[in-house]
Structure 1
Amino acid sequence: MAEHVVRGGPPRVPATGFDPGGQAQSPEAATPAVEEPVVVDPAVVTYDDDPSTERALLLESQRIARLGSWMLDLDSGEIYLSDGLRSLVGVGRDTAIEELAALVHPDDRERLAEFRARVHAHRSTQPVEVELRDGDGDRVFLVRARTIRDQGERIHGTVQDVTKVRHLERLLSQESRLFREAQRVARLGTWEWNTETGECLWSSMLYELGGVEPGTPISYSDYMKIVHPDDRGWVDQRWQELATTHRPVECEHRVIRPDGKRRVFRIRGEAAGPDGDPVVMIGTAQDVTEQRSTETRMQRSSKRFTDLVAITPVGIGLFDDAGRLVDANDALCSLLGMDLERLRGMTADQLTHPDDREPRRARAFQSGQCVLMAAAGKPVYCELTSTVSVSDDGQRYWLVVFADVTDRRRAAERLRYQATHDELTGLPGRAAVKELLGKLLGGRDFDRIALLFCDVDNFKRVNDSLGHDVGDELITALARRLERGLPPSCTVARMSGDEYVVICSDVAEAGGVEALANTAAGLLRTAVPVRGQLLRVSACIGAAVPSGPETTGADLLRYADAAMFAAKERGTGRVSLASAALIASANSQMMLEGQLREAIANDQLILHYQPVVGSDGTILSAEALVRWPHPERGLLMPGDFLPVAEQGDLLGELDRWVLRAAFAEASDWPQLAGGTLGGGVGIAVNLGGLVPGDPDFVDTVSAAVAATGLSWDRVVLELVETSLIDLPSRSREAMDELVERGVRFAVDDFGTGYSSLARLKELPAQIIKIDRRFVSGVATDASDFAVARALVDMARAMGRRCVAEGVENATQFHVLRGVGVDAYQGWLMSRPLPAERFRELLKQGPVRIPNGA
């Protein structure tokens, strides 16, 4: 097939009256409101005495009408586009027909092919037309064409931009639809009545309300036939008054529809406007059957209320302003075990059980909870709901509903037990431990108390190798051994994971704290049969006793915890007692915790930044790393104070400080093209205490972003792998909400937690950070290389990005780049830098990465 080439000037064609510019129109005709698009037939164009003037007028008309013409010579393959068409679609003079087809929206190209086939096969003088959208779908063009066969075969056509026309048509259609929907929702129709001819016009909704077949001719007499016979006389009189006086009329009457259904119509009518026909009345008709039915029901509700009070199973009492019971239903009498005559005149104080010691004055009038006293003195736990009402004689009274919640209270106590006890073992949990220690240390015999902190050795290896189910069975078995083997004065509790606490209220009964600790160690040094195999375990135990009457439960836990860590330093299965030196060290840690708390509150911490770079050295983001310039101990690294923060429950506050400080610093960084998303260098913050499950997680991040003006798409929040496993729905919802705003989540140290590579699919994160322990051996250890490659392949398949941590030499870098790692972080690129030095690094451009090892 000959190549179709667009030529700039008119083609060589026989003199058929065709003007390539198209047929001229007046400007008024070229700008219709909501009319059919302008049609220009190039075959009927004529010229006046001055062709150049005619052509100029024609082109101006095309511009005004947003229209252009074209012609395709099928013999030569040449195609001509008018100036107006080239301007309309934005193409040049040398555009091929294939390029024109490429401007069409992909979804419309099949219709374009069908249009071409129809044009080639068309034999009529009437044009073939099709509507097509541009590539973005924002504009609509009407294309018309026909084939002319005279001394050759040519296709003449026009293209007109009808976007505004179609938009107006859609608006009109939408307004019409909204008007119909409004009538449907309000069950309201419109009407028009010619008082001379009696003819009526009803809207479609009014036909539906009246139960009349749509389109049926309606007259005034037809309307009167559906009016209820008992209402017909006065209704006719009202409408005749309207016809005579032209004063607006409003009335309600009953209707009997042709299908026999009875309805109530509320009708408004008035004369047409000043520009309308004086004999024409217009108005609305609304079906108000349900409203009137509701009013009728309301009128009957008073008696029903009285009946309801009498038969309801919930106790209801009426009290006067003095707080005396004046009436009660049978349910309240049954609840309290007394008849109405005995109850009448009793006050709220008299009805309340003595154990409920709060003031009873006017208590019955307040919503809340109380304990009532039944006839036999039995307590009855109730929830109260009260309101002030007025009787028919104007007397004010209190209506109080008493709901018996005794059974619910018992259920709540069971729930409280579950909340304070470990679900797996049934042992008391952390909250119960704190409560019990508070009671024991507050008594006179505080010096007889001892506490053991037990940690199972190498328990993580059991979970990793045999699975969590086996680990759970082992934890439960050890809990039962401790319960059975320790003296009665001991309470065994589970703090978390593989940690047990033993609280002894009489250490003398156990033979002293050392003997008690050795007994517990012996119970935990055993072989436990689990699923057909014996698991040999041991535990390190730290023991502590109060150092004085001022010792708190938190102090005792710290001392025993510190002693346990001292035992672990000596090996497995060891026992250590909290000595004076150890207690002093623990107190020193406590002091450090207080200093850290003060440093966070007073902005005495600083941040260093380590860049994350692409394979070409471009800085994509930077991880914020916290440092503590201690006034006495110098610059402390995270490893020096993060354990203190964790012990003192300060990790959340520390995370909040880092978020605020890092976002503030990053908002003022010099921005480089090609940052995290091409919009600037990202800032990554590793969260340890602030997690998605916290109720204020989203608000905290949002407040930090809002306070600094940082762009959402520059924020990267890093979470360790274990915090992303088995996320509750609330955590996932919080993460999804931030992701929608542009935040990305990164899994830090992936592959080192409890999950397998298959877990990668479930993690709601966009970035995977390969742990440094795999990176360090990626060039020398086949296993590390295989892990890195598997991580990259899985991440890419699931749309995640991979960042390698701890890249220290060029060999590691090149191996990782070979397997497809997206970004790199480590000393090869840069050590963590103070804020000012990192800003200088940003200004220098891409980081140079050495080629050699």
Structure 2
Amino acid sequence: MSRPGTEHIEILRGRTENPADPTRPETPTAAPDDALTWLRRSSQRFTDLLAVAPVGIGLFDQSERLVDANEALCRLLGYRLDQLRGCTADELGHPQDQTRSPRSGKGVLGPNANPKVLQRTLLRSDGLPVSCELHTGLSVQDDGSQFWLVVFQDITERRRQAEALHHQATHDDLTGLPNRTAVKDLLADYLAGPDRERTAVLFCDIDKFKRVNDSLGHDAGDELLVALARILESGVPPECTVVRLSGDEFVIVCSDITAVDGLDALSTRVSALLRTTVPVRGQLIRVSASVGAARADQPDSTADDLLRFADAAMFEAKRRGPGKVSLASPTLIASADEQLHMEGQLRDALSHDELELHYQPVVAADGSIVGAEALVRWPHPDHGLLAPGAFLPIAEQGDLLRKLDRWVLRTALREAAGWPNAGGGHARVAVNLAGLVPGDPRFVTAVSDALDESGIDPDRVVLELVETALVDLPAQARSAMHTLAGRGVSFAVDDFGTGYSSLARLKELPAQIIKVDRRFIAGIGGDPADFAVARAVVDMSRAMGRHCIAEGVETATQFHILKGLGIDGYQGWLFSHPVGPRELRAMLGTTKLRVPEAQ
């Protein structure tokens, strides 16, 4: 940097002679030659300070043109000082910097510039952008004219790290697509604009995706999701943004539905993209998706509303079968609103302990009650006593299954701890779990806490899990089950035969009880295939030392056929409907339930 003369000294320091100014540092009252020497040395110190400063420093006149700069600023921008002199603050900015003033030299450093610390993207001589924080200070010369002293601090790396963190927070790690956080921000922006009624959302759920995970493993499932993400990205119109919401759920956000020929056409196009065959681990996987779509045609619809309406439409499409498309109609939207209302009511019911349990007995072949399965009921203030089928989907969509399972588990164990002896022994209590599963890191703690709070003998507790929850269990989940089994807790495979595991894999399931699904029991008296399945399950269970329970036993014929096969326990309307806690206690006080005679 060139050494400034006396004029620059005055600019950099302000007035040098104003004895009446109480804020001015006191100067030595010495001879003129000594004063000049003092000024020169002061100027030299200031020049040296600018030269060694690690940050860029520039001096701008009233028109915001660069007058002088230190070497650090020249290195930062890649220019010589003579190339920088005369450039305005605006001209140093990158063309794509949105903070640049629309009129060169106006408003960047001027009196209206606010705040005093600005963030700007500047353009280097090699064309690369450099992000800077500008610390500005305004001073006055002897003649009253103003000048700007600006410190340029390079924050390129800091901004790069901040952008990386923001990208990580708003994008999916697996596919690189925007995530749930990003889609809500994007929708909020679209809905706040003048063309909000053109905004639309498509909710896509891959059909039977769990079968891929169960049969080929989760790595293969991830590979399939990445492939589908690329198919969607390359296949949707430019007005659309592809988002991975969670698991096997994708969302398409469209900013202008009229530009893509309407909601129906876009939904059909996306459904066709996802009806494809993808090579995964040397196998061709044929996939399809259920697609639900909603448009922002309500003036007060929020981002959450659009996602909820599209999600409800997707569930409607899924009910109609794989690969179907459904659009959110006024009736469906009204149903979704009612479901949201019931979700809030269910949360309150759980919080205020307003649910109740009924129990269906499990009997041995001689009619003695050996156990009972806890079945949750909701005494709804408007709809009466609701069975699980009416509110479990609401609990699932509202992420309440885990909380519901914990309530059922604690309540069932507390009530069962006080059951009377049944035929000389205590009946076992079975609790079906859907949200609180072995893979949950809080699984062991939740079950252990319920055992300790109730004081029940762990040998009397059976935790029922659907077959698909027990296939390909990770090591952590198996360890959790073994920990509880060590305390005496038993595990049952519920609805066996309806999942994706084969009979050969039965021996791998860490469960002591197998429950044959009611769908096979229903046809056992007339369908040879159902009889063959039931017999195979019983034979396999007996060979591996497992107990076998039949669900949905409703006729004497079914009972006697199953008895002939060697079933250990029977559950169904033939013996008892689900009953309340008081009725069950009365039943447990009897010796045996009536067993139908063979015909």
Q: TM-score range by the shorter chain?
A: 0.5 to 0.7
Q: Structure 1-normalised TM-score?
A: 0.48
Match of 1:833, SS state, is coil
Kept after mapping to 1: 8 A contact 2:171/2:182: no
Describe the shift of the 1:457–1:691 C-alpha distance in structure 2 as closer, same or farther (beyond 3 A): closer
Kept after mapping to 1: 8 A contact 2:211/2:500: no
The letter of the residue matching 2:269 is T
The letter of the residue matching 1:421 is D
Deviations 1:191-227 (A, max 9, x none): xxxxxxxxxxxxxxxxxxxxxxxxxxxxxxxxxxxxx
Kept after mapping to 2: 8 A contact 1:609/1:624: yes
Match of 1:773, SS state, is helix
CA distance in 2, matches of 1:744, 1:730: 18
Per-residue deviation, 1:413: 5.7
CA distance in 1, matches of 2:132, 2:466: 49
The letter of the residue matching 1:668 is G
Per-residue deviation, 1:559: 0.3
Per-residue deviation, 1:549: 6.9
Q: Structure 2-normalised TM-score?
A: 0.67
Match of 2:438, SS state, is coil
Kept after mapping to 2: 8 A contact 1:422/1:494: no
Per-residue deviation, 1:645: 0.7
CA distance in 1, matches of 2:511, 2:524: 24
| Pairing 1:524-543 to 2, within 5 Å after superposition | 524-525=274-275, 539-543=289-293
The letter of the residue matching 2:177 is P
1:519 to 2:269 alignment: yes
Q: Which residue of 2 aligns with 1:644?
A: 394
Q: 1:653 aligns with which of 388, 392, 403?
A: 403
Match of 2:257, SS state, is coil
Q: 1:486 aligns with which of 213, 236, 243?
A: 236
Describe the shift of the 1:554–1:510 C-alpha distance in structure 2 as closer, same or farther (beyond 3 A): same
CA distance in 1, matches of 2:595, 2:462: 24
Q: Which residue of 2 aligns with 1:437?
A: 184
> Alpha carbon RMSD of aligned pairs, Å?
3.8
| Pairing 1:314-463 to 2, within 5 Å after superposition | 377=154, 416=168, 421=172, 423=174, 426=175, 428=177, 432-442=179-189, 444-445=192-193, 446-456=196-206
Deviations 1:608-667 (A, max 9, x none): 111111122221110000111111111111111110111111111111111122122111
| Pairing 1:131-142 to 2, within 5 Å after superposition | none
Per-residue deviation, 1:605: 1.3
CA distance in 1, matches of 2:445, 2:215: 39
Match of 1:518, SS state, is helix
| Pairing 1:649-728 to 2, within 5 Å after superposition | 649-673=399-423, 675=425, 680-728=426-474
1:613 to 2:363 alignment: yes
Per-residue deviation, 1:460: 7.4
User: Could you say which structure has the greater relative contact order, defined with CA pairs below 8 angstroms and 6 or more residues apart?
Assistant: 2
The letter of the residue matching 2:305 is D
Per-residue deviation, 1:797: 2.7
1:844 to 2:597 alignment: no
The letter of the residue matching 1:841 is M
Q: Which residue of 1 aligns with 2:556?
A: 810
Kept after mapping to 1: 8 A contact 2:423/2:590: no
Mean alpha-carbon deviation: is it higher for 437-446 or for 577-586? 437-446
Per-residue deviation, 1:705: 2.1
Larger Rg: 1
Describe the shift of the 1:767–1:567 C-alpha distance in structure 2 as closer, same or farther (beyond 3 A): closer
Per-residue deviation, 1:564: 2.4
The letter of the residue matching 2:523 is G
Kept after mapping to 2: 8 A contact 1:685/1:716: yes
Deviations 1:228-287 (A, max 9, x none): xxxxxxxxxxxxxxxxxxxxxxxxxxxxxxxxxxxxxxxxxxxxxxxxxxxxxxxxxxxx
Percent sequence identity is: 58
Per-residue deviation, 1:818: 2.2
Describe the shift of the 1:411–1:783 C-alpha distance in structure 2 as closer, same or farther (beyond 3 A): farther
CA distance in 2, matches of 1:607, 1:690: 18
Describe the shift of the 1:547–1:591 C-alpha distance in structure 2 as closer, same or farther (beyond 3 A): farther
Q: Which residue of 2 aligns with 1:589?
A: 339
CA distance in 1, matches of 2:461, 2:281: 47
CA distance in 2, matches of 1:778, 1:843: 32
1:767 to 2:517 alignment: no
Kept after mapping to 2: 8 A contact 1:618/1:674: no
CA distance in 1, matches of 2:157, 2:167: 20
Per-residue deviation, 1:523: 2.8
CA distance in 2, matches of 1:819, 1:657: 37
Deviations 1:502-541 (A, max 9, x none): 1223434434433322322343456778899988765442
Match of 2:315, SS state, is helix
CA distance in 1, matches of 2:241, 2:475: 35
Describe the shift of the 1:469–1:775 C-alpha distance in structure 2 as closer, same or farther (beyond 3 A): farther
Kept after mapping to 1: 8 A contact 2:187/2:253: no
Kept after mapping to 2: 8 A contact 1:767/1:801: yes
Q: Which residue of 2 aligns with 1:85?
A: none
Q: Which residue of 2 aligns with 1:76?
A: none
CA distance in 2, matches of 1:753, 1:411: 44
The letter of the residue matching 1:557 is L
Deviations 1:276-312 (A, max 9, x none): xxxxxxxxxxxxxxxxxxxxxxxxxxxxxxxxxxxxx
Q: Which residue of 1 aligns with 2:500?
A: 754
| Pairing 1:181-330 to 2, within 5 Å after superposition | none
CA distance in 1, matches of 2:167, 2:314: 32
Per-residue deviation, 1:703: 2.1
| Pairing 1:52-131 to 2, within 5 Å after superposition | none
Deviations 1:725-750 (A, max 9, x none): 22222222222221111111111111
Per-residue deviation, 1:427: 5.5
Match of 1:832, SS state, is coil
Per-residue deviation, 1:789: 2.2
CA distance in 1, matches of 2:478, 2:340: 35
Per-residue deviation, 1:794: 2.3
Describe the shift of the 1:412–1:718 C-alpha distance in structure 2 as closer, same or farther (beyond 3 A): farther
1:632 to 2:382 alignment: yes
Per-residue deviation, 1:553: 3.7
1:827 to 2:577 alignment: no
Match of 2:154, SS state, is coil
Kept after mapping to 1: 8 A contact 2:521/2:553: yes
Deviations 1:141-199 (A, max 9, x none): xxxxxxxxxxxxxxxxxxxxxxxxxxxxxxxxxxxxxxxxxxxxxxxxxxxxxxxxxxx
Q: Which residue of 2 aligns with 1:510?
A: 260
The letter of the residue matching 1:436 is V
Describe the shift of the 1:789–1:576 C-alpha distance in structure 2 as closer, same or farther (beyond 3 A): closer
CA distance in 2, matches of 1:533, 1:742: 42
1:779 to 2:525 alignment: yes
Q: 1:790 aligns with which of 533, 536, 547?
A: 536
| Pairing 1:470-481 to 2, within 5 Å after superposition | 478-481=228-231
CA distance in 2, matches of 1:736, 1:701: 13
The letter of the residue matching 1:780 is G
Match of 1:421, SS state, is coil
Describe the shift of the 1:610–1:433 C-alpha distance in structure 2 as closer, same or farther (beyond 3 A): same
Kept after mapping to 2: 8 A contact 1:621/1:681: yes
Describe the shift of the 1:584–1:756 C-alpha distance in structure 2 as closer, same or farther (beyond 3 A): same
